[in-house]
Amino acid sequence: MIMQGKKGVVLGIANNKSIAYGIAKACKEQGATMAFTYLNDSLKKRVEPIAKEFGSQDFVYPCDVSNPDEIKALKVSLERDLGQIDFIVHSIAFAPKDGLTGRFYDIPKSSFNIAMDISVYSLIEVVRELKPLMSSNASILTLTYYGGAKYIPNYNLMGVAKAALEMTTKYLAEDLGKDGIRVNAISAGPIKTLAAAGIGEFRFMLKWNEAHAPLKKNVTTSEVGNSGMYLLSDLSLAVTGEIHYVDCGYNIMGMPATIFDENGKQKIAWNGDN
């Protein structure tokens, strides 16, 4: 199996609908051993059954990335229980509600700082703290979205945070490349996750992507999971600094493709009512 003998940590998994769950599942199916983190007691109740499902019930740790002491404690726990690790999955993002609604220029500075700290700087801080545990040829993976490259309605502050995360991925890739460590990001298409619940008109977004992506469907967590497993495994030893789109091709579209009805008459690709 591709990930046999590999050990890693997954930060930010929320439930079995999470993209991080799809990645963890694909890694487990290929033989990986994983540790999991949770933000608080409420999420702990969701993470523990997942860890048990993957045989990792003894490797579940608290980690609020806004608290540097918890990141340091995570390092101690991982070193004690797993020793050397081969991969990190960073699936953490947050923006206050007032950063996702209303006029963009009205976003409070405090909300901007929170979003950048949790969604971007946490990757740097986690990597810096866990780097001494990482093996040669280790791999780091974070999760982004097309809203970090192009304007997406209702994404607002999260789009700016994802743009910063994508550049952080590239700068970390260069910085850690000399140590043999790879850093990549997956830009997944929209998926019904707990995080997506905070995005306005998300159902419309799903319909729009399905109608206009070249594959005419939305991506699934298992499809993203397989791509994530590839980037965490030795199959991608020469891949780093990449923003890998797993969105059924939506990112290549400049405008909707023309569609004709059964009589050959041109019509718009989707009118939003279907």
Query: With left for phi above 0 and alpha for psi between -120 and 50, is residue 182 left, alpha or beta?
Result: beta
Q: Name the residues annotated as catalytic.
A: 145, 155
| Amino acid (one-letter) located at 184 | N
d(C-alpha 161, C-alpha 144), whole Å:
9
